[in-house]
Amino acid sequence: MLHYMGHIVTGLIARPIILEAFSRAHSLHGPVALADDLAILPLREADLSRLQCAPSDDEAGGFQHLSKQLLDQLRHSSHEGALMYFETEYFGGDGGQGAAVFQDGDLVFGPHWAEVGPINQALKLLGVSCEPSDRDEFEAVGLHLHRNAEGWLKQR
């Protein structure tokens, strides 16, 4: 019997110092290192509840947790540098992904949701580039290595 794996991750990507400050400000766990001098702050359901992430129907656009309140928090946190919010929700090859990038208090990309593409576009804005051995920016920073927040937190 063939079992398909899901990929369900919600999180933030930025330079480690930006995510460490966000973590402290919201009493969250620390970030996990990625490639390209970036880090990921995976957000579990409990973390999202702490951030009061409950989008209204008109704001969701495919996102499960991107609320107006979270958008405002991310805008504020981006004064120190670019900050990316993302969600993936795939199971058996079906699903989608979304991303938004904030810098200097402004929303500079997104939020965009699609079957493929928004995360790679957002990572490019953070300066990620692919090596010949990488399929895309998602793989270049290592986002393919863990399929859920708990997997990322075990990496710490």
- Write down the pLDDT at residue 71: 92
pLDDT per position as a tens digit, 37-61: 999 999 998 898 888 766 555 455 7
- Alpha-carbon distance 125 to 7, whole Å? 23
pLDDT, residue 79, reads: 94
> For 75-114, what is each residue's pLDDT tens digit?
999 999 999 999 998 877 788 899 999 999 999 999 999 9
Residue 105 · residue 120 · CB < 8 Å = no
Look up tokens 């480690």; give the residue. 16
Query: Confidence band (pLDDT; 50, 70, 90) for 136?
Result: confident
For residue 12, the model assigns a pLDDT of 97
The residue count for the chain: 156
